[in-house]
Amino acid sequence: MSETDGQADVTVVLPDGSELDVPAGATVEDVAFEIGPGLGRDTVAGKIDGELVEKQATVHDGARIEIVTDQSDEYLTVLRHSAAHVFAQALQRLHPEATLTIGPPTDEGFYYDVTGVDLDEEDLAAIEDEMDDIIAADYDIEREVRSREEAKEIYADNEYKRQILDDEADEEEVTFYVQDGWRDLCQGPHVESTGEIGAVTLLNISSSYWRGDEDNDTLTRVNGTAFASEADLEDFLERREEAKERDHRKIGREMDLFSIPDHSPGAAHYHPNGMRIRRELEEYIRTKNDELGYEEVWTPELNKAELWKPTGHYDAFKEQGEMFAWEQDETEYGLKPMNCANHAHIFADSQHSYRDLPLRFSEFGTVYRNEQSGELSGLLRVRGLTQDDGHAFVRPDQIEEEIRQTLSVIEDIYSQFGLEIIYKLETKGDNSVGSDEIWEQATDALRGALESEGLEYDLEAGEAAFYGPKIGLDARDAIGREWTIGTVQADFNIPQRLDLTYVGEDNEEHHPVMIHRALLGSFERFMGVMIEHFKGNFPLWLAPTQVRVLPVSDDTLGYAHRVKNALDDAGLRVEVEDRDWTVGRKIRQAHDDRLPYMVIVGGDEEEVGTVSVRDRFENEASGVELDAFVDHLVDERDEKRTEPDFVDAE
């Protein structure tokens, strides 16, 4: 902090790392004007230490500041927040009896939870028309400051807003945003006027719980989305329709991959077809673990809750209601929510020298999280999940190299599936444990590994787990959606809390550092993403059935089985379609079943010992030597090529 003309200044950090002195009490907008008058005029909102805030938010000394304009990625979030207010205003114009609760922006749009009004899908068109009128009127969206007591009077009949005021409003003054005389309690940020919302639509109605708690009131949730232009909205709606076609729950039923029955909510049953995919993924990750020097272990799912108390996980998971725990014979037990404490026990069970490190354990370990029922979503959000988990115990001087090697393998893995990785460096948050010094050291190691590998990354300030910073891995799929999957974390805290030690070169005891990493994340979530990414059209190496042999008639059924045996001998997953169908129907069914290849055999093929080949793209080749076809399939499988390419290769 410096002093200018007798007035104390605060120093803020700009995105390029440069520092700027501004007067104490300065806002994000003031910072923008200090940078340049044009930027000041264009400021819509800002980010302070990674958190999106209104442009009137006051900056503090040392704050990392980003300015949000209509050219920023965050602008769409701000616009959608304003669209949620437009929805709420339109709703109350048509249904004054409606009670508003909360209405935030989301990754794909916005929602508003309401009660006191009976809505169904047929009501959405009228509300949307009213929203269009509000947008066309281009009302100014103005910030208004009120005392907490005034706000409580305004919401005398709204218990939900009053609860927000009691639980979340720390200051004696709170903010509202007002448009055309209608107001809503809100911290912002918002766009300048309703007319900035170029296009809006309401998507559906669902139910929700107040505060996401099943024990609280049931509310009506209206979901919508908004964009700056009609063209962007149309693109979104097209992608949304494509996403429906790719829904892993729909494809999972069609391909008989998995089920999640009522008797095991949030826990998947893998059917034989799905288990074939999962086993291929497991074996693939085993080869990658071997490359990295991991040794596979197994640890039990049932443990005494005492195991997780020293690490801090017990308090963290119990506080969020995410741990399955119970008492028996005056002892508390639980299903493990993560594997790291068990792996730490294996490390502690033996003595180690500095020469032994890195020591690496991997496990396909099933863990359990007590997710809310309303948050469960097929394989993407479950209660029972199997992680491709791993923990490396390293010396401090080995951290960056260990992370670099892990990132290199991760790049290879995700490129194998045709997924683009988005890296996020998540740094210390408010719930962190341990000293600033070890957090800084761990964060620097993660940052150094990313930069030495030449990887671009987004900074997610304050988003790390309580015990250490991490590199989060998001995967962008075939239609541009982003999925959070794997992770790499550097952790000084848990080894210290559990008093894990090794004997150093100085013959003194030292604490190792734990590198937590999950390459795919969980098999459940990754399989859900893969089903949607490939639309069920898995590459040959993953396909549950790789080849189907289609005899033209019963007369060639014997030859069809000889072809099958040749493919079986090469370790390929193959079946014969022996139903009394026409060839055309057999081909259509194979396409519907998403087979990479089908082999058609008739009298001509049997006579000369060849096959006719057809792939999922309807490419065909006839008179193909069986041995050549088998050799090609083996190469395509072993090289894990993304698409069938036999016909192209010929």
Q: Indicate which residues carry an active-site annotation.
A: 340, 369, 387, 389, 391, 470, 516
* Whole-angstrom distance, CA of residue 444 vs CA of residue 423: 15
**What are the backbone angles phi and psi of residue 42, rounded to the nearest 5°?**
-85, -5
Which residues, 6+ apart, have CB-to-CB distance to 531 below 8 Å? 246, 248, 251, 252, 257, 379
Q: For residue 309, which of 277, 337, 329, 330 has the smallest C-alpha distance?
A: 337
CA 271 → CA 157, 259, 277, 368, 618, distances in Å? 52, 8, 10, 21, 28
User: 170 — phi, psi (to 5°)?
Assistant: -75, -30
Cα separation, 578 vs 554, in Å, equals: 8
Cα–Cα distance between 213 and 128 in angstroms, integer?
A: 29
The two three-digit tokens of residue 49, written as one number:
């230490």
CB 429 within 8 A of CB 316: no
How many CB atoms lie under 10 A from the CB of residue 47? 21
CA–chain centroid gap for 294, Å, is 26
| DSSP 8-state secondary structure symbol assigned to residue 593 | T
Which DSSP letter does residue 580 get?
S
Q: If we measure between CA atoms, which residue out of 165, 197, 161, 219 comes closest to residue 81? A: 197
At 262, which amino acid appears?
D
Take residue 66 and report the two structure tokens written for it: 């980003």
Does 313 belong to an annotated binding site?
no
Compute φ and ψ for 306, nearest 5 degrees.
-55, -30
Residue 632 known to bind ligand:
no
Cα angle 559, 561, 567; round to 5: 110
β-pairing, 420-426 vs 482-491, is unpaired
How does 429-458 read in b/e, with b if 16+ C-beta sit within 10 Å? beebbbeeebbebbbebbbebbeeeebebe
Q: Is 194 helix (H, G, I), strand (E, B) or coil?
A: helix
Burial group, residue 238, by CB count within 10 angstroms (0-12, 13-18, 19+)? exposed
- Residue 561 annotated in ligand binding: no
**Residues annotated in the binding site for Zn(2+), as ranges?**
340, 391, 516
**Residues annotated in the binding site, as ranges?**
340, 391, 516
